[in-house]
A and B are shown apart, each in its own frame.
Chain A
Amino acid sequence: MGDSAFLHFFTTELFGQWRRQAGVVLLSTILIFLLASTLFVSSSLRHSLQSALKSESDFTVQRIRGDHLLPVPMEWVDEIAALHGVDRVAPRVWGRYYTEPRGHYFLIVGIDLLEDQSQRALQKLIQGIDLRRFLQGDRMLVGPGAARWMREHFYRGSFSFLNPGGQFIKVTLDSILPRQSSLVADDMIVVPIETARKILGLREDEATDITFNVPNDDEWANVQNKVLAMHYDLRAVSKRESRAAYSRLFDFKGGFFLVLFLIVLSAFALILYQRYSQVYSREKRAIGILRALGWSIRDVLRLKLYETLSVVIAAFLLGTTLAYGYVFGLGAPLLRNIFLGSAEASTVPPLVPVMDFSVLATIFLLYGVTFLAAVIFPVWRVSVSDPKEAML
Chain B
Amino acid sequence: MKIIQIYGLNRHFDNGEERFHALRDIDLEVEKGECVILHGVSGSGKTTLLSIVAGLDQPSSGEVLVEGEAIAKLPDRHLSRFRGRHIGMIFQHYNLLEEFSVRDNVSVPLIPLGLKMDEVERRCDAAMQLANISHKARQSAGRLSGGEKQRAAIARALAADPEIVLCDEPTANLDRANARRFLEILGQLHDLGKTILIATHDPIFEELDFPVRVVEMEDGRIVR
Q: Interface of A with B (CB < 8 Å)? A: 1-6, 8-9, 12-13, 16-17, 285-286, 289-299, 386-388, 390-392
CB proximity of A274 to chain B, nearest CB, Å:
24
Q: A12-B100, A391-B168 are in contact. Are A290 and B108 (CB under 8 A)?
A: yes
Extra 17 A-B pairs, beta carbons < 8 Å, given A5-B120, A298-B77 = A1-B114, A3-B115, A9-B108, A17-B99, A290-B108, A292-B95, A293-B83, A293-B84, A294-B84, A294-B85, A295-B112, A296-B79, A297-B77, A297-B80, A299-B112, A387-B56, A390-B56
B186 at the interface (CB under 8 A from A): no
A5 touches B89 (CB 8 A): no
Q: A294-B84, A295-B84, A391-B51 are in contact. Are A289 and B115 (CB under 8 A)?
A: no
Contacts of A391 in B (CB 8 A): 47, 50-51, 56, 91, 168
B117 touches A4 (CB 8 A): yes
Partner of B77, one of A3, A16, A296: A296
Residue of A nearest to B120 (CB): A5
A296 touches B80 (CB 8 A): yes
A293 touches B89 (CB 8 A): yes
**Bound Cα distance A13, B47 (Å):** 29
CB proximity of B43 to chain A, nearest CB, Å:
13
**Bound Cα distance A95, B100 (Å):** 71
Interface size in chain B (residues, C-beta < 8 A): 38
**Bound Cα distance A295, B160 (Å):** 13
Q: A12-B100, A16-B100 are in contact. Are A294 and B117 (CB under 8 A)?
A: no
CB proximity of A97 to chain B, nearest CB, Å:
68
B224 at the interface (CB under 8 A from A): no
Contacts of B95 in A (CB 8 A): 285, 289, 292, 390
Partner of A296, one of B47, B51, B76: B76
CB proximity of A359 to chain B, nearest CB, Å:
39
**Bound Cα distance A296, B89 (Å):** 16
Contacts of A8 in B (CB 8 A): 117
Partner of B116, one of A4, A13, A296, A386: A4
CB proximity of B66 to chain A, nearest CB, Å:
14
Contacts of B112 in A (CB 8 A): 1, 294-296, 299
A/B interface sample: 24 pairs, CB < 8 A? A1-B112, A1-B114, A4-B117, A5-B114, A8-B117, A16-B100, A289-B91, A289-B97, A291-B56, A292-B54, A292-B56, A292-B83, A292-B91, A294-B83, A294-B109, A294-B112, A295-B84, A296-B79, A296-B81, A296-B112, A297-B77, A390-B56, A391-B51, A391-B56
**Bound Cα distance A297, B75 (Å):** 11
B38 at the interface (CB under 8 A from A): no
B104 touches A12 (CB 8 A): yes
**Bound Cα distance A5, B107 (Å):** 9
Residue of A nearest to B94 (CB): A289
Shortest 7 CB-CB distances between A and B: which pairs?
A: A294-B84, A296-B80, A1-B114, A4-B117, A293-B109, A5-B120, A387-B56
B57 at the interface (CB under 8 A from A): yes
B113 touches A286 (CB 8 A): no
Residue of B nearest to A290 (CB): B108
B110 at the interface (CB under 8 A from A): yes
B156 at the interface (CB under 8 A from A): yes
Residue of A nearest to B57 (CB): A388
Residue of B nearest to A285 (CB): B95
B110 touches A5 (CB 8 A): yes
Interface residues of B in 108-167 (CB under 8 A from A): 108-117, 120, 156, 160
Contacts of B50 in A (CB 8 A): 391
Residue of A nearest to B83 (CB): A294
Contacts of A388 in B (CB 8 A): 51, 56-57
**Bound Cα distance A285, B94 (Å):** 12
CB proximity of B58 to chain A, nearest CB, Å:
10
Contacts of B76 in A (CB 8 A): 296-298
**Bound Cα distance A295, B50 (Å):** 18
Residue of B nearest to A1 (CB): B114
**Bound Cα distance A296, B120 (Å):** 18
Contacts of A292 in B (CB 8 A): 54, 56, 83, 89, 91, 95
Contacts of A6 in B (CB 8 A): 111
Contacts of B77 in A (CB 8 A): 296-298
Contacts of A297 in B (CB 8 A): 76-77, 80
CB proximity of B136 to chain A, nearest CB, Å:
17
**Bound Cα distance A229, B78 (Å):** 85
Contacts of A387 in B (CB 8 A): 56
